[in-house]
Amino acid sequence: MKTIDDLLAEGQVAGKRVFVRADLNVPLSDGTITDDGRIRAAVPTITRLADAGAKVIVASHLGRPKGAPDPQFSLAPVAARLGELLGTDVAFASDTVGDSAAATVAGLADGQVALLENLRFNPGETVKDDAERGAFADQLAALADSYVGDGFGAVHRKHASVYDLPARLPHAAGGLIATEVGVLKKLTEDVKRPYAVVLGGSKVSDKLGVIDHLLEKADRILVGGGMVFTFLKAQGHEVGKSLLQEDQLPVVTEYLARAEAKGVEFVLPVDVVGATEFPDLKTKAPSSPATAPVDSIPADMIGLDIGPESRKLFAAKLADAATVFWNGPMGVFEHPDYADGTRAVAQALIDSPAFTVVGGGDSAAAVRILGFDENAFGHISTGGGASLEYLEGKTLPGLAALEG
**Residues with Cβ within 8 Å of residue 109, at least 6 apart in sequence:** 55
Total Cβ atoms within 10 A of residue 223: 27
Active site residues: 38, 203, 361, 385
157 is in an annotated binding site: yes
Residue 199 in marked binding region: no
Tell me the three state secondary structure of residue 352.
Answer: coil
35 labelled ligand-binding: no
- 62 φψ region: left (φ > 0), alpha (ψ -120 to 50), beta (else): beta
Which residue, among 333, 361, 347, has the nearest Cα to 25 in the 3D structure? 361
398 assigned binding-site residue? no
172 bridge partner residues = 148
303 annotated as ligand-binding: yes
Q: 133: annotated binding-site residue?
A: no
Rg (the chain; Cα; Å) = 22
Q: Annotation-wise, does 168 bind a ligand? A: no
207 among annotated binding-site residues: yes
162: helix, coil or strand?
helix
Instruction: Work out the burial of residue 31: count CB atoms within 10 Å of its CB; fewer than 13 is exposed, 13-18 middle, 19 or more buried.
Output: exposed
**Packing angle of the helix pair 76-86, 37-51 (nearest 10 deg):** 60
Per the annotation, does 362 bind a ligand? yes
Handedness of CA 151, 155, 156, 160 (dihedral sign): positive
CA dihedral (196, 197, 200, 206) in degrees, to 10, reads -160
β-bridge partners, 3: 173
- Check whether 24 is labelled as a binding-site residue: yes
Q: Distance between CA 307 and CA 179 in Å, rounded?
A: 35
Q: Is 25 labelled as part of a ligand binding site?
A: yes
User: Residue 366: what are its φ and ψ, rounded to 5°?
Assistant: -65, -40
Residues facing residue 378 across a β-bridge: none
Q: How far apart are CA 269 and CA 313, in angstroms?
A: 8
Q: Is 193 annotated as a binding residue?
A: no
Asked if residue 23 belongs to a known ligand binding site, the reply is: yes
Binding residues: 23-25, 38, 61-64, 120, 157, 207, 303, 334, 360-363
Binding residues for (2R)-3-phosphoglycerate: 38, 120, 157
- Enumerate the known binding-site residues for substrate: 23-25, 38, 61-64, 120, 157
Could you list the residues known to form a binding site for ATP, using ranges. Answer: 207, 303, 334, 360-363
